[in-house]
Amino acid sequence: MELMTERYFQKPLRLSHSASNLPDIVQYARSGSSGRFDDIAEGSYPAIYTHRNIRSFAPWRPKSHFSPDRLSYFNDTKSAKSLGPIVNVTGDSLGLHELEGLRIPSIYSAARNALYTRYTPADWTRGNLTRLSNSEQAMKRAEHIRENGERLGVEADDRIKRAQQEVGRLLGQRINDINYMKHELNNEIDALVNEMNKLNESKRIAEKAFAEIENPLHITQECLYHREKRQSTDLVHDQPEKALLKEIDGIKICQEQIKNIINRATAQLSLCRSVQHELEQDSSDKFRALQLDQLAHQLRNSSANIALYGDIEKLEKWMSVPEKWAEHTSANLKRSQAERAASRSIREAIEHCLGSTFSKIRDLWSSTNACLSQRIQETMEAKNRIQVQLEKINQELFDVEKNMEYLKRCIADKQAPLKVARTRLDLRNRRPNIELCHDDPHER
């Protein structure tokens, strides 16, 4: 009270020692302004106080507290009477002139009414012991929780360190695996590119050979065309003609074989390019994965640009497994090796085809030349025989003509004897009668 009065009033209070003149807090509680005291007191103490719900029998509890907002000054007596008992409102017999218009609860009445509700010293001791025991148990539980937390923290740090070391080791192994696979892919790409270059060269040679075969074919066709100019009985279906037709058929067959092998080489080059694209794509993916894994392998707890990235687990269903990863690369390598083997087979087929083609064309050309040579020889022999016979015939004709001239001269020379003979016959035919005899002179 003294503190409150000293806070709001500068002069000391002249209080009376008579308890009967103090205001009664029970009477004050009956007024309409006691609700705020009840609200403050209710629920302010723990459950160990069994009398917390008894309001009227515990005036010493905090509901008897009053704050500066409980103080009010009034200008008229009517307003003071409407709010309950007021200390010395009309007189100054108690000497409380400074408290005029101030409502103060009765401390004496509160102490008197609380005599029946106070705790005993045993209750006080027991309450202290209970609080100490509860606090000790709470401290032990807190210490146990703290120790468990520290132990879990240490274990978590240890597990995380071991996990990071294991992940680092696995990343290192993964980097080695990717490096090995990438090295194998690069070697296979180089081998495939070399094989493709060789196949391109073989294909170019085959195309050049196919173009060069046109010349023998054209020559053979020209030979047949010129042989069609033969006349009469010389236009015969002889061995050279058969050889020329056979050579044309053989050259066309060789051209068809070379064309087929060129088409095979073209298709194989397309397959090799497809495999090369797959290998290069796989190598590029592994190069990118190698960069990312190396970057991940270099990350530490103190590294920059580390964060709690979200939606990482959603990619799990799209990820491949190491077995599928290895099978994919192995399948690409096996396919490349198979295509390289097929390319080598085609190159060998091209070499064999060109060799057999040239050999066959050479054999056909030799056979045709032999037939033509033989036919030329036969023709030359026939011509020579005819030429000799022609010379003989010409000589005979000359002799016949010469003989004819001789005979003509002989005939001319015989005109005189003929005339003599005919004249003799004419003369003898003039013989008369029986003298006209067919005698020996007439016979001659």
CA contacts within 13 A on the Cβ side of 102: 20
Residues 190 and 244 grouped into a single domain:
yes
Residues 179 and 275 grouped into a single domain:
yes
Instruction: Return the residue matching tokens 């005919």.
Output: 422
> Considering the domain boundaries, does residue 307 fall inside one?
no
Residues 156 and 241 grouped into a single domain:
yes
pLDDT in single tens digits along all 444 residues of the chain? 444 444 444 444 444 444 444 444 444 344 444 444 344 344 444 444 444 444 444 444 444 444 444 444 434 444 444 444 444 444 444 444 554 555 555 655 655 555 556 778 888 899 999 999 999 999 999 999 999 999 998 998 899 899 889 989 999 999 999 999 999 999 999 999 999 999 999 999 999 999 988 888 898 888 888 888 888 887 888 888 888 899 899 999 999 999 999 999 999 999 999 999 999 999 999 999 999 999 988 888 888 878 887 777 776 777 888 889 899 999 999 999 999 999 999 999 999 998 888 888 888 888 888 888 888 888 888 888 888 988 989 899 999 999 999 888 888 887 888 788 778 777 877 777 776 777 777 666
pLDDT of residue 236: 81
Residues 66 and 179 grouped into a single domain:
no
pLDDT of residue 114: 56
pLDDT of residue 117: 61
Residues 268 and 379 grouped into a single domain:
yes
> Considering the domain boundaries, does residue 311 fall inside one?
no
| Rounded-to-10 torsion of CA 222, 224, 229, 232 | 170
> Considering the domain boundaries, does residue 131 fall inside one?
no
Per-residue model confidence as pLDDT tens digits over 110-149: 555 555 567 788 888 999 999 999 999 999 999 999 999 9
Global pTM value: 0.58
In whole angstroms, what is the distance from residue 217 CA to residue 255 CA? 10
Which residues 6+ apart lie within 8 Å of 195 measured at CB?
Answer: 272, 340, 343, 344
> Considering the domain boundaries, does residue 409 fall inside one?
no
**CATH code: domain of residue 361:** 1.20.1270
> Considering the domain boundaries, does residue 169 fall inside one?
yes
> Considering the domain boundaries, does residue 138 fall inside one?
no
pLDDT of residue 382: 87
In whole angstroms, what is the distance from residue 106 CA to residue 114 CA? 12
Residues 336 and 389 grouped into a single domain:
yes
> Considering the domain boundaries, does residue 174 fall inside one?
yes
- Please tell me what DSSP assigns to residue 70: G
State how many domains the chain has: 3
> Considering the domain boundaries, does residue 349 fall inside one?
yes
In whole angstroms, what is the distance from residue 21 CA to residue 413 CA? 223
Taking CA atoms, 222 is separated from 228, 231, 241, 360, in Å, by 10, 17, 12, 20
Residues 241 and 332 grouped into a single domain:
yes
Residues 339 and 192 grouped into a single domain:
yes
30 residue type, one letter: R
In whole angstroms, what is the distance from residue 112 CA to residue 109 CA? 5
Residues 111 and 252 grouped into a single domain:
no
Residue that finishes a domain, picked among 118, 141, 159? 118
In whole angstroms, what is the distance from residue 8 CA to residue 49 CA? 35
In whole angstroms, what is the distance from residue 98 CA to residue 4 CA? 13
Residues 344 and 212 grouped into a single domain:
yes
C-beta neighbour count of 63 within 10 angstroms: 23
Residues 15 and 56 grouped into a single domain:
yes
Domain span at residue 87? 2-118
Residues 246 and 208 grouped into a single domain:
yes
Taking CA atoms, 293 is separated from 38, 100, 298, 334, in Å, by 71, 88, 9, 26
In whole angstroms, what is the distance from residue 45 CA to residue 50 CA? 10
